[in-house]
Every structure is written in C-alpha cells, then in structure tokens.
Amino acid sequence: MGFTIGGIRGRRDVGSVRRARTSAGHAVTAVAEYTGLWGWDVLPGAPLVRSPGGGRGCSCPRGAACPVPGEHPLPDARPVPAGTPLDEVTDAWAGAPGAAVLLPVGRSFDALEVSAAAGRRALPRLERLGLPLGPVSVAPDGRAHFFVAPGAAAELPRLLYRMGWDGTRLDLRCLGRGDHLLAPPCDLRGLGPVRWLRPPTLDTAGGPPPARLLLGTLAYAQSAWLRSG
C-alpha cells in the first residue's frame, strides 16, 4: 500500500517502513515510521536516565538539575523532517548514537498531559463515548499524553474556565509550541520504555481531535485520581 502525506516530499510505502525493523535498530525504525507514515518531524534528544533518587534525570551535563530532563534536543541537533527517505533517517541517527526520539510539539499536534493512572482511567470512558481520539502515549515515570489539535496549549486556561475546572487542583497541563515529547521506544533507564496506549494510525496521526472534546473527561479522571490518593 502506498500513500503520500500531504505537504511533505517523497512517497513512502508502509511495507518498506515496517521492513526497516530487519535492518535497523528500534529507534531508527520508529523515526522512519514517525516521519514517513505519520508525517511528524523528529529530533535527536538527550537520553532520559534514572536519577540517584529514583526519579527522572537527564544525560546532559546538568544531570538531575536539568529543568526538562530527557525532553530537549541534543546540542546542534538537526530535525529529521517528515518525508525524509529511509537511508537519510538511518544516516541521521547514526550520527547521534543513543539519542532519544523527540517529537516537536505544536506543529502537527499539542499534547494534554495527565497522570498515567488518570489517563488509563479516562481512555476507555472516552472510547465508550465514541469521541474521536488521537494517539496516546504513556511513560514509565507516570505521565500520559493525549495528542490533540495544535493550539490547545494556548487555549487551555480558557477551556478550563469555561468548563468550571479553573479553580480545581489538577495535575494537568498541555504541551505546545516549543515543547518536545519523548516517543516510543525511548527508555527511562531502570524504569522501562515509553509506550503507546493508543498507537498512531493514518486516520489519527494527521488529524488529532480538538482538546475541548477530551478535556472534561481527562480533568474529571485526574481530579478523581487525586482525591483517591
């Protein structure tokens, strides 16, 4: 099956990307899928590590003091743009061995972040409601990310206010332009890998839903989880 992702150069066959698993590491395969199948840019990032206290740390010189551990590009990192040919993806990642797979947020999607427990509770409820859903990832440090349409980060305060959640203590935020999101198969050393709770598909990767459709259910699940804890 062949297809062209609108607005990007090149044509990528799904089978050819999947077959890259036999000749490249998991990271290279993932980057090839993200750029070729889903139309996302990718950046090589500083790997996420486990800090001495058991939390998340960064492999960059700041270590545990890094304000965004494992969520920033390597120095002088160049993006691998959507539509990059497979051989160029392999070459790009060969120049950054061990790099984390980072997705720039705010271009193709923003991401609503909640606790993994709240995300796992909300996902089946959203599915039962028949709401459109984009990809959903979960990290071993206990955070889940629901992909939503770009622009959600700027609208979040207004949306929470209109829904009556602005005065509630919520462990909920939205990643937007300028942020980066760790993507599978990144690994938090000592804790495990980032995984997909809901993998991207051709239908969802390029058109995630508006945040307003998911926000109420996610806020309720997050609030309930905080109360139970």
The predicted model scores a pTM of: 0.85
Domain positions in the chain are 1-103, 105-229
Let me know: does 82 contact 11? Beta carbons within 8 Å: no
Query: What's the CA gap between 68 and 81, in Å, rounded?
Result: 23
pLDDT at 7: 35
pLDDT of amino acid 151: 96
CA geometry: angle 121, 124, 126, nearest 5 deg: 100
Tokens 């028949």 sit on residue: 130
Q: What is the pLDDT along the chain (229 residues), one digit of tens a residue?
A: 332 333 333 334 444 444 444 333 788 999 999 999 999 999 998 887 776 666 667 878 887 788 877 778 888 888 999 999 989 999 888 888 888 899 999 999 999 999 999 999 999 999 999 999 999 999 988 999 999 999 999 999 999 999 999 878 899 999 999 999 999 988 876 678 899 999 999 989 989 999 999 999 999 999 998 888 6
Q: Tell me, what's the pLDDT at 48?
A: 75
What's the residue count for the chain?
229
27 touches 93 (CB < 8 A): yes
Q: Are 73 and 180 in contact (CB under 8 A)?
A: yes
